[in-house]
Each structure stands twice: as structure tokens, then as C-alpha cells.
Structure 1
């Protein structure tokens, strides 16, 4: 199972053939084509049914039964709203209840780091589970919100008061822009696109990890990838990567709906979209912080 998220691995809708159904058409009631794990198999559904309609028994083309308990776009929207709503709610609560003034900054940062580690563990556990767990996904969202709330409060307090609102608006703009471009067909998600994005993300994360190690053991900003001109460049690259992962997420959702994925898979779609939006927000916040600091 391959990942379409820059931070954590998670299952795609096509489990048997790489990423979900690139350039394949859904086959209702037909054999699995292009790695569709939800196709129901070929053959007459009335072949062994003694209660089948007379025309079906006489060899007339059968009518495929109406699918039930399958994922719809409404399911994805509802689950995503719940997951993002949890992130926003806990972020607001942590902003209010965990002030980053000099008297409490150490405690607040400690809680934020702990919440981030818990969120990472929960996300990894969900990524390796065979089935989505709504409780696990919402718990991840809650702890992620605590981390984001403290970090956002610190940036707003020590860098610029309006930078958090700008980062939120920027994240929404990226989401809306990518969705519009995807629906218009300007972004075509193919295997080549997927491979390029994943390779770029792996390189990006590797450079960030090396920079962090240099910062920890050498002090300062490590190799300078998080500040100054290089920081701005890598911030833009991070946002572009996040936009590419949004396109992959949209492709997964579209394939899941078209192929009749189980309704529970909508939780995975919400989980993936939340991970990607958190990535974009953090990169946007860091980029705007660097730009504000240079003013």
C-alpha cells in the first residue's frame, strides 16, 4: 500500500495494483479492471437465484443491484468536516488555555511537543491498520490541533499578529485552487505524476531531516533551509508539494467514489486530506513567518 501523503504512509483505494486506478474506467458489476478492489466479478447475478425475474432466467441482460453501503462524496465531506473541525476546536482551546507568555512558555512548548509526538504515533498506527478507525483518526486530529494551537499562538505572539490568519487563508486558497484545477482537468494525476511527487517529497523530507540534525548538533539553523533566502525557497517548494499531494488525495477520493469503495473508506479520505492540509498550513505559516521577520 503506497502513500499519497508527504508525512505518513496510508492505504490507497487500490490495494492490489499500486495507486488507485490511474487511467482506468470503473466497471460496474464487471471484473476487476486496473486494480479495482471493489469490482464485484463477472457473470450473471441471477444465475443461481431461484427467485430471479423471468426475463433474467430467459437470458435477458440482468440489472445490476443497487449498491449499498458505499462511499459517496457526501460521506467524504462530512468525515473531513468532522476531522478538520476537531483540529480547529482543539487548536483554539490550546491557544486559549496554553499561553506562550514568558511565564508559561516552557510548559506550553512541552505540551505541544508531546501532543505532536502522540499525533504522529496515532497517525502511523492508523496508516498500518487494515481498516480505518474513526476514534483513532479523531484522536489524531485532537492532538494535532493542540500542537498547531500552541505553535500558532507562539508565531502570533513573537513574530506577527496577523500571520496565522494569513496562513489559514493561504491554505484555503491552495485547497480551492487545486480543487478547481483538478476539476477543470488542468491537473492530470498519472503514475508518472505520482512517482515524481513521491520522489520529490522523499528528497524534501530527507533534506529537512539532515537540516534538523545539523541544527541539533551544530546549533543555529543547521544548513539554513529554514530561514533566510533558502528558507523562503524551501517554504515555496513545501507548499507546492502539498498542492501536489492534494491532487493525489482528490484522485483517491474520486476513484473511491467511482469504484464503490466501502463507506468506511471515507474516514481514510478525511484522514489523508487532513494530513495534507496540516502540512500546507505549517509550510505556509513558516514561509510567512520568514517573510514577516525579514520586514
Structure 2
């Protein structure tokens, strides 16, 4: 079973045959393995599961003479995830602010700014796909994705603030932060339990949501108007709320992936993948929040 986030599906945090681990490794001697996963001893989402990375050579080892754990370097820590995520999100914010200031969205230049934003979004998509299929995380690709994604977000945010409602961008940012904090608290308190059933439900719901949105976009392109109406009026509000809920579910899955990696000694480079996944999820939530607030403000 693959991770919820495409950046985890190629390498780190993938789950094959119900077991968690890192792809591309050889089985370690002396340790049990499930399938081709050198670290798995069972399903990490199952109740009472054992350490899926029990034979991980990066994990802290026991000192047989002193009886104390002997730490090894090159293992991912929560500080690594936080610092990489801060760098990635900081890049998004910086380029978003610069594009807001340097790419005017007045009627005379709106078409040009939109063209740049769409081009930046396509480049960000390509970079994210390239990173998703690489065996190792590339900080250059991840930060490049963040930079181009920020250009797209900056132009879209400026246009929404100018033509729909001033202040809606701040509300969307605060709403995204509130969702992040709420999901993190709920996850740490154990109110959200990430297991196989949760994973399957979220992935099925996300696939259905994306199919509906693509269908709506195709109808809008070829038939004109708002397509099937999934992005305006009452249906737009409903699907905006569903999109935010799905984003919150993806955050919970991302937190589980990070927790597994930190707990079981993933290589430090995997912190970049964790930052990449969290950034993609937060961008999703922000865009859905901005769209929902825009509809609500437009109906006033």
C-alpha cells in the first residue's frame, strides 16, 4: 500500500504488502523481513505492531558493555523535519510575496500575470513529479517546486484580494494555520487514529474528489461557464469544505509518516521528503480555504 502523499510513494515511507519501510534497500542479516522490505516486522498501522524498522542500521544501537543506547548519526529527527519544512514553506512565502508585489493584477496586466502564474504552476507540477520518481530527495528540486508554487500562489492571492474581497488572503492563511494546529493537536492527543481503514477511506475519497474536479474543469473548458457548478454557489461551498477536510486528513497521514520515520530511525535525507509532503498538503489546504472564502465573500 502506498503513502497518502505522492512524494512518499516512490521511496521513503512507502508501504508494500502492508509493511512500512524504505524502498531500494537490501535485507539485513539476522532480522526478520516482510516481502522485500528490510525493516518491516509487521504492519505499522495494526494494533500492537512491532517495530517496522527493527533491523534499521541507522537506528540507535544498544551498547552491550554499558547497557546504554549508542546513538548513530545520519538519522532523521523532528528538528530536521521542522527546519526543512521551515525552509520549504519560507521559500513559498517569499516568492509569493515577491510575485504579489512585482506582477500587477490590474486589468491592463492581468492576462500577462495570469500567464506567468499558470506557467509557474506547470513548472512546479513537473518538478514535483520528477522528485516523486527520484530514488533520493533532491533539495534543489524541492526548493525549486516551492519557489514556482509561491509565484502561482502570489498572483492568485493578489487577484482574489483585488477583485473579490480585501483581507480574504489573511483569513485563508489563518484558516490554514488553524487547520494545521487543530490536526496536530488531535493527532498528538490520539483523537485521530491513522490505520489501514483511515488510509483507505482518505485515498478513496481523494480519488473521487479529484475525478469530480477534473470532470467539472473539462465541462467548464468545453461547455463554458462554471462547468457542473462544483466550484460556485452552494455546491462550491460544500466541495470547498470537503476539500479542506481531505487536506486535514492528508495532514494526519503526513504526521504518521513523519512519526514513523523519526521513531524508527529513517535516514536524515528523508526529512526533505517529509517537508515536501507537508508543504504540498498545506498548499492544498490554503487553496481550498481561499476558494471557499472567496465564494462566501462573493455571496455577501
TM interval, shorter chain, is 0.7 to 0.9
Matching of residue 56 in structure 1 with residue 64 in structure 2: yes
Preserved CA contact (<8 Å) 1:174 1:243: yes
How many equivalent pairs are there?
A: 289
Q: Deviations over 1:184-239 (max 9, x none)?
A: 00000001100000000000000000000000000000000000000000000000
Question: Take 1:49 and 1:285, find their aligned partners in 2: how far apart are those partners?
Answer: 42
For structure 1, the 5+ residue unaligned runs are none
Preserved CA contact (<8 Å) 1:197 1:241: yes
RMSD: 5.6
Equivalent residue, structure 2, for 1:228 = 233
Preserved CA contact (<8 Å) 2:161 2:168: yes
Question: Mean Cα displacement is larger for which, 120-129 or 8-17?
Answer: 8-17
- How big is the shift at 1:7? 9.7
Question: Take 1:52 and 1:269, find their aligned partners in 2: how far apart are those partners?
Answer: 18
Q: State how 1:61-72 maps to structure 2 within 5 Å.
A: 69-72=74-77
Equivalent residue, structure 2, for 1:202 = 207
Question: Take 2:67 and 2:189, find their aligned partners in 1: how far apart are those partners?
Answer: 42
State the TM-score, normalizing by the size of structure 2.
Answer: 0.83
Classify 1:46/1:143 alpha carbon distance in 2 versus 1 (closer, same or farther; 3 Å). closer
Question: Take 1:182 and 1:192, find their aligned partners in 2: how far apart are those partners?
Answer: 16
Question: Take 1:239 and 1:91, find their aligned partners in 2: how far apart are those partners?
Answer: 21
Q: Secondary structure at the match of 1:42?
A: coil
- How big is the shift at 1:83? 0.2
Question: Take 1:173 and 1:290, find their aligned partners in 2: how far apart are those partners?
Answer: 20
- How big is the shift at 1:20? 3.6
Equivalent residue, structure 2, for 1:84 = 89
- How big is the shift at 1:103? 1.3
Q: State how 1:175-254 maps to structure 2 within 5 Å.
A: 175-254=180-259
Question: Take 1:57 and 1:173, find their aligned partners in 2: how far apart are those partners?
Answer: 49
Classify 1:74/1:215 alpha carbon distance in 2 versus 1 (closer, same or farther; 3 Å). same
Classify 1:63/1:134 alpha carbon distance in 2 versus 1 (closer, same or farther; 3 Å). closer
Classify 1:102/1:257 alpha carbon distance in 2 versus 1 (closer, same or farther; 3 Å). same
Preserved CA contact (<8 Å) 2:19 2:43: no
Equivalent residue, structure 2, for 1:17 = 17
- How big is the shift at 1:14? 3.9
Bigger RCO of structures 1 and 2 (CA < 8 A, at least 6 apart): 1
Q: Deviations over 1:82-111 (max 9, x none)?
A: 000000000000000001001111110000
Question: Take 1:46 and 1:59, find their aligned partners in 2: how far apart are those partners?
Answer: 21
Question: Take 1:8 and 1:276, find their aligned partners in 2: how far apart are those partners?
Answer: 12
Equivalent residue, structure 2, for 1:46 = 53
Question: Take 2:5 and 2:101, find their aligned partners in 1: how far apart are those partners?
Answer: 30
Q: Deviations over 1:115-168 (max 9, x none)?
A: 000000100111111110000000000000000000000000000010000000
Question: Take 1:189 and 1:21, find their aligned partners in 2: how far apart are those partners?
Answer: 16
Preserved CA contact (<8 Å) 1:32 1:40: no
Q: Deviations over 1:246-284 (max 9, x none)?
A: 000000000000110000000000000000000000000
Classify 1:44/1:139 alpha carbon distance in 2 versus 1 (closer, same or farther; 3 Å). closer
Q: State how 1:53-202 maps to structure 2 within 5 Å.
A: 69-202=74-207
Classify 1:87/1:10 alpha carbon distance in 2 versus 1 (closer, same or farther; 3 Å). farther
Structure number, greater radius of gyration: 1
Preserved CA contact (<8 Å) 2:186 2:192: yes
Preserved CA contact (<8 Å) 2:28 2:55: no
Classify 1:265/1:228 alpha carbon distance in 2 versus 1 (closer, same or farther; 3 Å). same
Classify 1:210/1:78 alpha carbon distance in 2 versus 1 (closer, same or farther; 3 Å). same
For structure 2, the 5+ residue unaligned runs are 36-41
Preserved CA contact (<8 Å) 1:159 1:292: yes
- How big is the shift at 1:4? 1.2
